Amino acid sequence: MEIDNFFGPIDIAISGIKAQGKQLELISSNVANARTVDDGKGVPYRRLEAALKYDDEIGGVEVDKIETDMSDFLRIYDPGNPQADKDGYIAMPNVNLPQEMINLNIATRVYQVNVAVLKRYQRMVDNTLELLR
């Protein structure tokens, strides 16, 4: 991480905002597909999660990769459903809605905090420039 960088805090805060934006995108995808029985390959949708990584160049954060949650699918007993197997069960995505809501709250808060840091840094610089007057 570079030291003595005037715009460093701006870049870092923006990187945090971007990362949380991506997180938000994945959460919305998970929520929207909470009942998707076919992900295009004949199996139910698997929930996605972003793996964040420290960005050594600016000291911020970046989305390293998007990982698929490989935990078991939710099995629902619904014998009347045409897609049910011979025992009457139907496989549903491994999306846990309450958990997604909590993740959504965390992502929103972290986003807000990054915006607050950006604003505060701007105010700090403004205060310093007041000294010139």
The nearer residue to other proteins, 18 or 84, going by C-beta atoms, is: 18
For other proteins, the binding residue among 11, 25, 49, 55 (CB under 8 A) is 11
Q: Does 88 bind other proteins (CB under 8 A)?
A: no
Q: Does 2 bind other proteins (CB under 8 A)?
A: no
- Those residues whose C-beta lies under 8 Å from the C-beta of residue 37, and which sit 6 or more positions away, are 44, 45, 83, 90, 91, 92, 93
Among 14, 31, 58, 84, binds other proteins (CB under 8 A): 14
Task: From 47, 39, 22, 37, select the one nearest 98 (Cα to Cα).
Answer: 47
Check residue 70 for interaction with other proteins (CB under 8 A). Answer: no
> Which positions lie near other proteins, rule CB under 8 A?
6-7, 10-11, 14, 17-18, 21, 118, 122, 125-126, 129, 132-133
